[in-house]
Structure 1
Amino acid sequence: MSRTPSISYYVAMPGGELPLNDEVARTLLPMERSGRERPAEASVTFGGYFQSLGKMLSDNHFALPLAGVRHQLGEDAQADQVREWRVVAEKHGAFYHPARVEAVTDRGTALIAANVALSDSGIAAASREFEVLDSLGRGFSRSFTPAAYGKGRAPCLLSQGGVVEAEAFFCQWYEGYCEFHLSCNPASQAQEIVVWDNAHGHFFMKPCQAAALYEKAAAILAYYYDPGDFRQIFPWHHAAGDFVVKALQDDLDVRLITVRQYQGMLEAEGDTDPETRLEAALYFLVNLTMHMRLDRIDGVGDLAWADGASVYPTLRGAFQGFALRGLDAGQDPEFAAALLGICREMPREYWEELCFQLVAASSPQSPDRPFLLTRGGEHAQALVEAFFKSRKDPFFVDKGAVLL
């Protein structure tokens, strides 16, 4: 006879996981980082949140999370093989309240992310992101973004009565991967990258680790860039924690956990001519390298700008991503090498103009815009120096992106 596995609920705290009790159940969910409250969502308690999420999990004999269990532990996995479901509320952002769902079985534990949206804007964002993740998962032979498992919807009770509709999309959870940000290292009094490792303690990266992080993040974005129709993953932002890193014994691994949009920054009509393809690729590189340097201090403070040393590993990673995509897609195998040759010959003034045009075209309401407008000249010089350095050092491997 089949049995219904139990679902236990916890809230992630700095000192560990706090089990759900009556007091926690009555506690209101934290709002987004800016503190701006939204009327309905501001009245959701942890009790209402977990009750809604529990219903989405258990509907149709746990069909939604079971898709993740089968993806991670084997297609023959069945719901009655799960001894326990553990749900941990992890963080609270502008659109989602993500939870980590653990399916405990005899063959291992599957880890699933449940990105719960409680506002109209959050639900719209969740629907878009699920579709993008699902499309990327089906359209590429390799994956550097979470596998998409499905969407659910359920009513969520409010603390003062009434309900709000909750929607969640379920996807792969990257265990052991941590958020990172630019921060001031008290030991060196210098701006460095701090990794928020809650399991083993926060730590500042060494320069070689920071270079590898920028290189791998750039390679991921370039791998998904389509030189034919200009589709790319954007927007993304380090301040939002879109990339995560996992420190390994002698290396590190990087993943992109949030994909809000996948479309072209320039419009492509039919077969694009070489000049338009070149222009689009140059804008992509400028946008990628500028935003790779952009963050907020500790994720929430003032806007921060990584030093120029980050540009070279960013470009190195970008060209490795280009090369790998060309091999996997069987298209434009010479795209990366041809583009690199052109970039090496471009003068500083041209790069500066591209930087200015790109930032000037962004939304006037963007807080990043005035910050970036004052840094175009310095960034253009960093690009020129990085491409000059690439003449001496191997910039990418012809047979693929070894760093991925």
Structure 2
Amino acid sequence: MQRSFPVHLLVSTPSGPIPLTPERARISLPQGPEAQGALIHYGPFLQAVARFLSQDSYAPLLHSLSRQLDRPIAREDIENVELISEKHGVLYHVVHLRVHIKSERVSLVLNVAVKPEQQAFLESECSLLEMLHQHFGLPYLPRPLFKGEALYTGDDGSELTLKIFMAEWFEGFHEFHLSMEPQQEQPVIKVWGLEEGDTVLRTDQALALYQHASAILTAYLDPASFRQIYPWHHAAGDFILKQTPNGIQLRLVTARDYRALISLGADPEEKWVALVHFFFNLTLRMRMDRLDGTGKRAWAPPESLSGVLSGFLESWSEKARLDPSLPPAEDVLHLLRRFTPREWISLGEVVLEDGMVETDELDFLSYHMAEHVSALMDALDKQRP
């Protein structure tokens, strides 16, 4: 007879996870002010996720752990499991899975989709993440480990089919956003620490953040088709950050789509246009956020562009090293320096139309365009080849 292990159900709070009590089990999961549809309650929700893990003698759990650790994991190896209802976004309800295996603790994530449009996105995201991992072999996106369904049964007898995919959880990484601090004229980057408390990044750390984020997005750029991970949003918390003694690390929590923003013809020169288009859109989007994630639109200081430029050139240099047919980073920098302010602004009008995600972005980015072009040209002049 196989040994059973305890499964603890918990709910995340600013002070840390707390146990799911009968009283808390009856509380509805957050849905947002414009949400429609049946209410989901914490108790039946976490119980449905627990049943999902335990089906077929815990096959989803054991399969995912074995893939994540790259070695076989048996049921007898597991000491206990914690399921923590963590976040509730537009697309998914997020559950943090912590598994204690002897002297080791492994963290995974379960993204749970309820509505048909959310479930369609889940299927698409799983396929896209698998493709990006196979094609690029980079560690910056979560790796899907298992996909399946669970039956939610409400206290009133109602039933819903939940779609779930399990992936690696980026342990120790936190969301960050631009924030206004007292006596600061420009926004700073505040890293959310939950029970550890929030921290504000130093200027050098903020530059490293923009450098790493830009390098990651450029690394996933396909230089043949110019497909890219897009859209992405700082305001949505797509990038997360971990502070270590050796500096900061960044990860990208999702890939909503992978597409080219402009069509390429047969002329090889058009790839130069596509590359400059990608670069300029990157510089704009890197500076845009919402204050504390949900407030009014915010604009990062011009100093951030030196980090953006360094990260872009760093990743492009690596692409050119692996593919000698690509222009070296020095040639790309030389081209970018040749643009005049008027040419940048003209390009910006095209980039804003091609890259628009939310309609109010146009007015916001257009308002900042002249300052952005000036700051970008200054960063290009100061950048070392």
Q: What range describes the TM-score normalised by the shorter chain of this pair?
A: over 0.9
189-198 or 214-223: bigger deviation:
189-198
Contact 2:261 2:355 in 1 (8 A): no
Structure 2, unaligned runs of 5 or more: none
1:181-220 correspondence to structure 2 within 5 Å: 181-186=177-182, 188=184, 190-220=186-216
Query: Aligned residues: percent identity?
Result: 31
3-state SS of 1:181 partner: strand
In structure 2, the residue matched to 1:369 is 362
- Deviation per residue, 1:338-383 (Å, 9 max, x gap): 3222112111111111111111345585232221122222222222
In structure 1, the residue matched to 2:287 is 293
Distance 1:91 1:373, change over 3 A: same
Distance 1:262 1:67, change over 3 A: farther
Q: Distance in 2 between matches of 1:286 and 1:158?
A: 49
Distance 1:156 1:185, change over 3 A: same
In structure 2, the residue matched to 1:342 is 335
TM-score between the two structures when normalised by the length of structure 2 = 0.94
Structure 1, unaligned runs of 5 or more: 396-404
- How much has 1:205 moved relative to structure 2? 0.8
> Which residue identity lines up with residue 271 of structure 2 in the other structure?
R
> Which residue identity lines up with residue 26 of structure 1 in the other structure?
R
> Which residue identity lines up with residue 303 of structure 1 in the other structure?
R
> Which residue identity lines up with residue 222 of structure 1 in the other structure?
T
Aligned pair count reads 385
3-state SS of 2:87 partner: coil
Name which of 110, 115, 127 aligns with 1:119.
115
3-state SS of 2:374 partner: helix
Contact 1:73 1:108 in 2 (8 A): no
In structure 1, the residue matched to 2:4 is 4
74-83 or 19-28: bigger deviation:
74-83
Contact 2:177 2:235 in 1 (8 A): yes
Contact 1:65 1:149 in 2 (8 A): no
Q: Distance in 2 between matches of 1:18 and 1:69?
A: 24
3-state SS of 2:17 partner: strand
In structure 1, the residue matched to 2:17 is 17
- Deviation per residue, 1:285-320 (Å, 9 max, x gap): 111111100100000000111111111210110111
Name which of 17, 35, 38 aligns with 1:37.
35
Runs of 4+ in 1 over 6 A off after TM superposition: none
1:321-400 correspondence to structure 2 within 5 Å: 321-328=315-322, 330=323, 332=325, 334-363=327-356, 366-390=359-383, 393=384, 395=385
Distance 1:190 1:325, change over 3 A: same
232-241 or 184-193: bigger deviation:
184-193
Q: Distance in 2 between matches of 1:203 and 1:29?
A: 28
In structure 1, the residue matched to 2:307 is 313
Give me the CA root mean square deviation: 1.9
> Which residue identity lines up with residue 62 of structure 1 in the other structure?
Y
Contact 2:261 2:354 in 1 (8 A): no
